[in-house]
Amino acid sequence: RTTVFSKLPRIKNEKWISIGRLDINTSGLLMFTTSGDLANRLMHPKFEIEREYAVRIFGELTEEQMSKLKLGVKLEDGLAKFDEIRYQGGEGANRWYQVILMEGRNREVRRLFEYFNLPVSRLIRTRFGPVSLPSRVKRGMMLELEVKEVEKILKWLDMPFSMVSRNESLNKVKARK
């Protein structure tokens, strides 16, 4: 199966590192870098970097269920919760929610909704930390960030620009399989 790595530009003497991952049924923002320090700073749970998703479910959450999802529910690999959850509307049996969480455990967003027997029919990562997915970036497109954008991210992370050399790149991809 073809992966998003095959779409990235070839680089010499370095390798691309995916910042987080998206499962086969998830689309949206996927970032890549050649800096291990930057990848670690964005992904490690101790840094509590927000990940934001647009989620379409079949069904509707009650206020009580939304409260429980913010307090935390026990999944098979421990307590999981959304830091924020907002109803965004919907029609028919489908409802959209915007959720924010601080870690990215395997299928965590889907499993949180499935806890209440509400299957996720669409999941799109719209933001990872300070980087939002621009609406102009369509399915399968890639956008290389300008140096100023990378500097802004490093400043937000309180990382010196010298930690990421000028020949290291940060790319973001709207990866929809």
Distance CA 79, CA 68 (A): 11
Structure tokens at 132: 């939002």
**Residue for token digits 């990866």?**
175
Catalytic residue set: 23
Rounded to a whole number, what is the distance in angstroms from the first to the last CA of the chain? 10
Residue 118's CB: how many other CB atoms inside 10 A? 19
The β-bridge partners of 56 are: 96, 122
Radius of gyration of the chain (CA): 17
* Distance separating alpha carbons of residues 93 and 122, to the nearest angstrom: 13
